[in-house]
Amino acid sequence: MTQQRRFTKQFEDEAVPLALMSGRTQREIAGDLGIGLSTLVRWIGRSRERQADDPGGSAETDLAAELKRLRRENEILRQERDILKKATAFFAKEGSR
């Protein structure tokens, strides 16, 4: 019989937002962290229960952090789009010579 591994509360608290906001599957996150998928799912369930019990503070903080991350990501995507537009115009101009 295998011995049950114990994880710190801090590890659990960092794994849950990673799983929820990374855009990757829970299975991938669990594999990367070296934990079982069922363990990660249980931690996410506990986190949601705690948020339901305390709807005020942490949910607003999570939303603010996600909003900040999404705005930054949006800015990066705009910059990449602009670079591609300029490159397309440049190569179209070069091709007509």
d(CA 74, CA 92): 27
* Residue 2 belongs to some domain of the structure: no
> How large is the average pLDDT for residues 64-81?
93
Same domain, yes or no, for 46 and 72? no
Q: Per the structure, how many domains does the chain have?
A: 2
* Residue predicted with more confidence, 70 or 97: 70
Is a pLDDT exceeding 90 seen at residue 94?
no
> 15: which 2 tokens?
């794994």
Q: pLDDT of 5-62, one tens digit each?
A: 888 999 999 999 988 888 889 999 999 999 999 999 999 999 888 877 776 666 677 7
Q: Residue 24 maps to which CATH number?
A: 1.10.10
Q: From CA 51, how far away is CA 42, in angstroms rounded?
A: 14
Instruction: Judge whether 1 lies within some domain.
Output: no
H or E stretch at 14: helix 9-21
Which residues form the domain of 88?
A: 56-97
Kind and range of the H or E element at 62?
Answer: helix 57-95
Determine which helix (DSSP H) or strand (DSSP E) holds 75, and give its type and residue range.
helix 57-95
What's residue 58's pLDDT? 65
Q: Provide the 8-state DSSP code for 4.
A: P
Q: How far apart are CA 60 and CA 63, in angstroms?
A: 5
pTM of the model: 0.53
CA dist 81 and 51 (Å) reads 38
